[in-house]
Structure 1
Amino acid sequence: MPFVNLHAHSHYSLLDGFGSPKDIVLRAKELGYNAAGLTDHGVIYGLIEFYQAAKDAGIKPILGCEMYVAQRTRFDKEAKIDVKPYHLTIFAKTNEGYKNLLHLVTKAHLEGFYYKPRVDLGLLKVYGKGLIALSGCLAANLPRAILSGNEDEVHDVIKKHIEIFGQENYFLEVQDHPLIEHQTIVNERLRDLAKQYNLGLVATNDSHYPRPEDSEVHDIMLCIQTQTTVQNENRMHYIGDYSIRDEKDLSIAFKDYPNAIENTEKIAEMCNVDFEFGKNLIPSFQTPQNEKFDEYLKKLCEEGLSKRFGDRDIPDDYKKRLEYELKVVNGMGFETYFLIVSDFVRYAKSKGITVGPGRGSAAGSIIAWSLDITDVDPIGYGLFFERFLNPERVSMPDIDIDFADDRRDEV
């Protein structure tokens, strides 16, 4: 019977998860699993490392995050009310979903941070495409509603998540931690709700360390987090086995939960995110009337060079230098880079934000001078373009731009 350990934490779940992303992959490989997931708390620091380790091991990486969801909105930050966000297990189903996961984690830190990086349901609705959600552990919204006995809230939570992610992308998460008082109560209710709403059950172990023998080290980490010692009997500690467990063990544990094991593989099959490494990825640029990048860049440079000389004729050496630089830039595929930099420099100057005249090797480019990115005449000062961009050494261009420090954030 197939099983994929989807819900797992690495040491990037700071002082809560033990083991590297690679350790998780090695444990999955050791158990004969053909896929594995990573869902660190509120962060995705480890996903690329995990992806590469999984690919090297011949295991399919399932990229996720256990997100914190604000009880109200991510902008509400009131003591005693907003300090305990819900948990929600999220996976990237597609490359678009991975980009949406990036958006969510970024906004959680920049907009929703209050003790923890938090999203809210509104944000999930905006960036929910291409994502799969599991109802989460006991700290999640649905289990909390079940344990509170508030049936209206239980159904409201399910309906809202189905609306956000779609019925086929929302699963009810059951876990095997029988020593925890409320886990069985929640599991049994989730089983009934899955049948009522025609949702899939999915088995996870909320793994916080790769192997059973790692539990002692994990316990010590929790002591560091809570500033206590292992001698304190009342300390926070995990009851039971939170390792990446064997399939046979879990098959017995979840025998009364229809398709909970099989659905782990189903989710793994649904998730297909691929990265291309070793290639420069430059954002696209929207040109007027969808002009070709090279043609539009050439037009802007020629217009800019004409403005630099005013009523005077453009000297031949300047024309030849521009032609040469454009040939190099087009050949290396960096047209959009210059268009983007030119765009935000133009914006800054239009708003009266002070921009430096040019610093570093970019001052040697007549393209940069023509586009008003720099204010240093590279030919007049005998500067070499090759110090900035050399066709014999393929590397990203690097334009250093100084903005007034009191208005830099506007740019």
Structure 2
Amino acid sequence: MSFVHLHVHSEYSLLDGSSRVKVLPKKAKELGMNSLALTDHGVMFGIIDFYKACKKEGIKPVLGCEIYVAPRELTLKEGKQDAANYHLILLAKNNEGYKNLMKIDSMAYVDGFYYKPRIDYENLRKYSKDIIALSACLGGEVQQHLLKDNYEEAKKKALLYEEIFGKGNFYLELQDHGMEEQKKVNKILIKLSQETGIPLVATNDVHYIEKDDSKAHEILVCIQTGKTIDDPDRLEFESNEFYLKSEEEMRSLFPEASEAIENTQKIADMCNVEFDFNVTHLPKFDTPEGFTSDEYLRHLCREGLHRLYEDVTEVEEERLNYELSVIEQMGYVDYFLIVWDFIRFANEKGIVTGPGRGSGAGSIVAYTLGITKIDPIKYNLIFERELRCAR
């Protein structure tokens, strides 16, 4: 087998994809495939579940996202001209590429959101390392220009994406769901590939797993758009071909471009992201100059200790030093500093917070940092006294 699905949507493409991330790898295995991609619309929420499900089935996970490219800069959000966007498939080649993909996706939401989470050329270029890009569906920028019979502009954009991601890391995507627009565009994409040397790749825009699932998917899209199944003006897919097809089915669609089929396996072979779930991954807190994380946590705790206790006794000192030693040994210093930082910010801005509990509910470290409002020494003594009385 040498075909891999590289354009796949799951239930995390909300009200648009109905494929379950835990079922997709099972179907790929049943079809004899060795790899499978996940490329949800604008989000990466399903990546971890998908990765684990693939590993369980002996399928290699290819991790990606279908992003939205802003027509101008991502910070520009003016009317219809910026509401428009272009689709682009991004696949992580390795762990560094995965980190860059997360940066792109996060930036698209935090800075670029305007109807959709959007990214622009500048930031694609900034975080393009170790990422493979595919030109996507008819919503892709190259395809959009071809649909408007603007071949030169399509060629210009294709070369731009190749320049952004590097030679060999950008592919022109062929799709055939029985739509006339796709048949028209595919012919020109093959010509464009021959002219520019940009390779082709064949994909099926998977939104559901089995062909028979198309009716249920229609209902899902109706829910998304607030329409009924009987509404003649509802948004609907133009065929029932958006399912996880076999290699034989895909080969039959592109007899004139067999290299586009072979390239799917080539791309999958280049994508090797590995997660280690036995290691704790915590972010690093940026401490003020002159402090290590351990030193800064101790500094903040000692400040809080003398602010909260009028006369610091040996009991408080021993309790604080013991807890700090445990936190340091467990590697949770930065975690406590991060929680302290956002609780401090909330308090300064008048944002209401709860009394603070979690796994460190009775912690004097949490109390001296201001994460909790409950004095653990005071309430420990009350608890011990009541326990003695009960006995």
- Provide TM-score, normalisation by structure 1: 0.80
Opposite residue 337 of structure 1, the aligned amino acid is Y
CA gap 1:70/1:329 in 2 versus in 1, 3 angstroms = same
CA gap 1:190/1:51 in 2 versus in 1, 3 angstroms = same
User: 2:319 is matched with which residue?
Assistant: 321
Q: Which moved more, 1:279-288 or 1:44-53?
A: 279-288
Instruction: Give me the whole-angstrom Cα distance separating, in 1, the residues matched to 2:56 and 2:191.
Output: 40
Opposite residue 359 of structure 1, the aligned amino acid is P
User: 1:12 is matched with which residue?
Assistant: 12
Q: Which moved more, 1:322-331 or 1:131-140?
A: 322-331
CA contact (8 A) 1:358 1:373 kept: no
Listed one character per residue, the Cα deviations across residues 72-100 of structure 1 (whole Å, up to 9, x for unaligned) are 23334444433332111111222233233
Instruction: Give me the whole-angstrom Cα distance separating, in 1, the residues matched to 2:285 and 2:117.
Output: 31
Q: Does 1:253 align with 2:249?
A: no
Instruction: Give me the whole-angstrom Cα distance separating, in 2, the residues matched to 1:333 and 1:235.
Output: 52
User: Offset at 1:235?
Assistant: 6.2
User: Offset at 1:372?
Assistant: 5.7
User: Offset at 1:142?
Assistant: 0.3
User: 1:208 is matched with which residue?
Assistant: 207
Ranges in structure 1 where 5+ consecutive residues have no aligned partner? 387-411
Instruction: Give me the whole-angstrom Cα distance separating, in 2, the residues matched to 1:327 and 1:277.
Output: 25
Aligned counterpart in structure 1 of residue 355 of structure 2, from 340, 346, 359 = 359
User: 2:24 is matched with which residue?
Assistant: 24
CA gap 1:180/1:374 in 2 versus in 1, 3 angstroms = closer
Which runs of structure 2 are paired with 1:203-282 in the superposition (5 Å)?
203-226=202-225, 227-229=227-229, 232=232, 236-239=236-239, 241-277=241-277, 280-282=280-282
Opposite residue 56 of structure 2, the aligned amino acid is D
CA contact (8 A) 2:51 2:61 kept: yes
CA contact (8 A) 1:219 1:238 kept: no
Listed one character per residue, the Cα deviations across residues 357-391 of structure 1 (whole Å, up to 9, x for unaligned) are 99245674333455565676543x2448x9xxxxx
Q: Does 1:186 align with 2:190?
A: no
Instruction: Give me the whole-angstrom Cα distance separating, in 2, the residues matched to 1:58 and 1:357.
Output: 45
Instruction: Give me the whole-angstrom Cα distance separating, in 2, the residues matched to 1:346 and 1:220.
Output: 47
Q: Which moved more, 1:361-370 or 1:279-288?
A: 361-370
Instruction: Give me the whole-angstrom Cα distance separating, in 2, the residues matched to 1:255 and 1:123.
Output: 37
User: Offset at 1:34?
Assistant: 0.7
Aligned to 2:335, what secondary structure does the other structure show?
A: helix
Q: Which moved more, 1:199-208 or 1:331-340?
A: 331-340
Instruction: Give me the whole-angstrom Cα distance separating, in 1, the residues matched to 2:284 and 2:300.
Output: 17
Listed one character per residue, the Cα deviations across residues 210-262 of structure 1 (whole Å, up to 9, x for unaligned) are 12222232234344445143584996332352211111222232232252112
CA contact (8 A) 1:326 1:367 kept: yes
Which runs of structure 2 are paired with 1:30-109 in the superposition (5 Å)?
30-109=30-109
Instruction: Give me the whole-angstrom Cα distance separating, in 1, the residues matched to 2:373 and 2:243.
Output: 60
Aligned to 1:168, what secondary structure does the other structure show?
A: coil
Aligned to 1:90, what secondary structure does the other structure show?
A: strand
User: Offset at 1:51?
Assistant: 1.6
Aligned to 1:261, what secondary structure does the other structure show?
A: helix
Aligned to 2:114, what secondary structure does the other structure show?
A: coil
Instruction: Give me the whole-angstrom Cα distance separating, in 2, the residues matched to 1:117 and 1:238.
Output: 25
User: Offset at 1:130?
Assistant: 3.0
Instruction: Give me the whole-angstrom Cα distance separating, in 2, the residues matched to 1:123 and 1:329.
Output: 38
Q: Name the count of aligned residue pairs.
A: 379
CA contact (8 A) 2:8 2:207 kept: yes
Instruction: Give me the whole-angstrom Cα distance separating, in 2, the residues matched to 1:80 and 1:292.
Output: 49
CA gap 1:210/1:309 in 2 versus in 1, 3 angstroms = closer
Opposite residue 315 of structure 1, the aligned amino acid is T
Instruction: Give me the whole-angstrom Cα distance separating, in 2, the residues matched to 1:244 and 1:234.
Output: 24
Aligned to 1:125, what secondary structure does the other structure show?
A: helix
Q: Does 1:128 align with 2:124?
A: no
Which runs of structure 2 are paired with 1:312-391 in the superposition (5 Å)?
315-344=313-342, 353=349, 359-361=355-357, 364-371=362-369, 378-379=376-377, 381-383=378-380
User: Offset at 1:206?
Assistant: 0.9
- Provide TM-score, normalisation by structure 2: 0.83
Instruction: Give me the whole-angstrom Cα distance separating, in 2, the residues matched to 1:68 and 1:139.
Output: 9
CA contact (8 A) 1:63 1:91 kept: yes
Aligned to 1:8, what secondary structure does the other structure show?
A: coil
User: Offset at 1:295?
Assistant: 4.7
Ranges in structure 2 where 5+ consecutive residues have no aligned partner? 384-391
Give identity over the alignment, percent: 46
CA contact (8 A) 1:51 1:61 kept: yes
User: Offset at 1:265?
Assistant: 1.0
RMSD over aligned CA atoms reads 3.3
User: 1:156 is matched with which residue?
Assistant: 156
* Between structures 1 and 2, the one with greater helix share: 2
Aligned to 1:277, what secondary structure does the other structure show?
A: coil
User: Offset at 1:204?
Assistant: 0.3
CA contact (8 A) 2:343 2:353 kept: no
User: Offset at 1:138?
Assistant: 0.9
CA gap 1:119/1:365 in 2 versus in 1, 3 angstroms = same
Instruction: Give me the whole-angstrom Cα distance separating, in 1, the residues matched to 2:117 and 2:107.
Output: 8
Instruction: Give me the whole-angstrom Cα distance separating, in 2, the residues matched to 1:315 and 1:121.
Output: 60
CA gap 1:278/1:249 in 2 versus in 1, 3 angstroms = same
Opposite residue 207 of structure 1, the aligned amino acid is V
CA gap 1:231/1:284 in 2 versus in 1, 3 angstroms = closer
